Amino acid sequence: MRKWFLPIVAVCLIMPANHVGAISKELVGKCGHWLDEALNVGWSRTHLSQLDYVMWRESRCLPNMFNPTDPNGGSLGLLQINFFWCLPNQYFLNGWLQSNNILTSCAQLSNPKINLRAALAIFEYSKNRNNNGWKPWNQ
Mean pLDDT to the nearest integer, 107-122? 98
Confidence of residue 124 (pLDDT cuts 50, 70, 90): very high
Per-residue pLDDT tens over the stretch 4-42: 444 444 433 443 333 334 434 444 689 988 999 999 999
In the predicted model, what is the mean pLDDT of the chain?
85
- CATH number attached to the domain at 24-137: 1.10.530.10
What is the maximal distance between C-alpha atoms in the chain?
A: 66
Q: What is the 3-state secondary structure (H, E, C) of the chain?
A: CCCCHHHHHHHHHHCCHHHHHHHHHHCCCCCHHHHHHHHHHCCCHHHHHHHHHHHHHHHCCCCCCEECCCCCCCEECCCCEEHHHHCCCCCCCCCHHHHCCCCCCHHHHHCHHHHHHHHHHHHHHHHHHHCCCCHHHCC
Which residue ranges make up each domain of the chain?
A: 24-137
Number of Cβ within 10 Å of residue 8's Cβ equals 10
> How far, in Å, are 22, 48, 49, 62 from residue 19 at the CA level?
5, 17, 19, 26
CA dihedral 88, 94, 97, 98 (to 10 degrees): 160
Per-residue pLDDT tens over the stretch 74-90: 999 999 999 999 999 99
pLDDT at 1 over 70: no
Q: What is the pLDDT of residue 10?
A: 40
Mean pLDDT to the nearest integer, 49-53? 96
Q: What is the pLDDT of residue 139?
A: 72
Number of Cβ within 10 Å of residue 70's Cβ equals 15
Which pTM was predicted? 0.80
End-to-end alpha carbon distance in the chain:
41
